[in-house]
């Protein structure tokens, strides 16, 4: 089985989007030869260029030596086909969040890589066991769920499928420690730990908005300034991408057999259709300038300025200010209850929740 400490370790990253390039960066910085592939022409090369800029910013901030940039970039190789993953000891997929696409990729990789190569999925909510079922050796498939931005968010969920060999997730956990991340071991349940516990954070905030209790910018402000969160739910949706966040909400709702508490909000679907996905499109709940600063999008309705995408507040007595306690309490207490439920369903991680 994989020795994650070996000096000649070779890793493959399939999918060069935001998550894929972040995973490639931390692997390369830890001394791992990293092969990057994306089915979209030019995407892998763009990812390498983005990594270059990310590393240069670390140098500017005094967090990285100049020589380390060239060393890390020298370990990142853009490849034109999955066949190039043949020498890999581990392959991490970070492609579209679609079960069938991931199953097809893993089945294809099995015909290329060695029998002891680990196949890991960066899925945030899909069944690792269902992906593994497409493979002849399902015991080598595990979940490896990173968080955005990968180099900054120093945590990764290491997920055991029903048939995953313990040695596989142990090796992935040790590999995470090699590149400075804290691995959280958990079972293959919908949403694992973080997304399961956090489902109330975003959906409940959307519910507060839909009920006219407060506008989205106020909800974010309350949860950051009063509840101590580093980012509000609407800022988080913009960071992750509303298309991704909404897909996770729908996936979990389906996997829990339409349990009401996981029901997605009707507000998300039309915004996804309109392309208001967040930072990656320049506008989501907020608008983003060249400096990356978030500014709430406002429109004039009935002679007064309001935030675009919000529902009208019923009356002055039911204003955002008057309702801040309700908005904050609703968005905070339910995630706490959900965390307890996630702990019961996705242990062995009692100390991590």
Catalytic positions: 124, 145, 157, 195
CB count in 10 Å sphere of residue 44: 26
HSE toward the beta carbon, residue 152, CA cutoff 13 A: 7
Cα–Cα distance for residue pair 39/24, rounded to 1 Å = 16
Choose among 307, 311, 317: nearest CA to 206: 311
289 phi-psi bin (left φ>0, alpha ψ -120 to 50, beta other) = beta
Cα–Cα distance for residue pair 299/301, rounded to 1 Å = 6
Cα–Cα distance for residue pair 120/159, rounded to 1 Å = 9
Q: Please say whether the dihedral angle defined by the alpha carbons of residues 25, 27, 31 and 32, taken in this order, is positive or negative.
A: negative
Those residues whose C-beta lies under 8 Å from the C-beta of residue 67, and which sit 6 or more positions away, are none
Backbone angles phi, psi at 217, to 5 degrees: -65, -35
CB count in 10 Å sphere of residue 9: 20
Those residues whose C-beta lies under 8 Å from the C-beta of residue 195, and which sit 6 or more positions away, are 124, 125, 248, 252
């Amino acid at each position: 089985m994989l020795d994650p400490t070996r000096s000649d370790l070779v890793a493959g990253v399939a999918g060069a989007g935001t998550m894929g390039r972040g995973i490639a960066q931390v692997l390369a910085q830890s001394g791992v030869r990293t092969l990057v592939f994306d089915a979209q022409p030019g995407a892998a090369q763009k990812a390498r260029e983005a990594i270059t800029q990310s590393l240069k910013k670390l140098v500017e901030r005094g967090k990285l030596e100049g020589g380390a940039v060239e060393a890390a970039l020298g370990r990142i190789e853009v490849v034109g086909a999955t066949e190039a993953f043949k020498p890999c000891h581990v392959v991490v997929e970070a492609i579209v969040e679609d079960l069938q696409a991931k199953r097809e990729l893993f089945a294809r990789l099995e015909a290329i890589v060695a029998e002891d190569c680990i196949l890991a999925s960066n899925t945030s909510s899909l069944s690792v066991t269902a992906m593994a079922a497409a493979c002849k050796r399902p015991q080598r498939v595990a979940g490896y769920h990173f968080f955005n931005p990968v180099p900054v968010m120093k945590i990764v969920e290491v997920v055991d499928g029903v048939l995953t060999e313990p040695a596989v997730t142990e090796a992935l956990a040790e590999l995470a420690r090699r590149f400075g991340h804290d691995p959280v071991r958990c079972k293959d349940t919908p949403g694992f730990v973080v997304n399961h516990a956090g489902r109330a954070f975003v959906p409940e905030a959307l519910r507060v908005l839909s009920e006219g209790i407060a506008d989205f910018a106020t909800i974010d402000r309350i949860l950051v300034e009063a509840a101590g969160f580093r980012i509000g739910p609407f800022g988080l949706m913009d960071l992750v991408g509303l298309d991704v966040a909404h897909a996770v909400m729908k996936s979990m709702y389906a996997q829990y057999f339409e349990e009401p508490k996981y029901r997605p909000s009707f507000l998300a679907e039309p915004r996804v259709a309109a392309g208001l996905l967040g930072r990656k499109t320049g506008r989501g709940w907020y608008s983003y300038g060249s400096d990356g600063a978030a500014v709430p999008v406002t429109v004039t309705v009935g002679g007064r300025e309001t935030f675009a995408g919000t529902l009208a507040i019923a009356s002055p007595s039911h204003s955002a200010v008057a309702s801040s306690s309700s908005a904050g309490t609703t968005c905070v207490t339910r995630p706490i209850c959900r965390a307890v439920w996630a702990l019961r369903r996705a242990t062995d991680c009692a100390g991590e929740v």
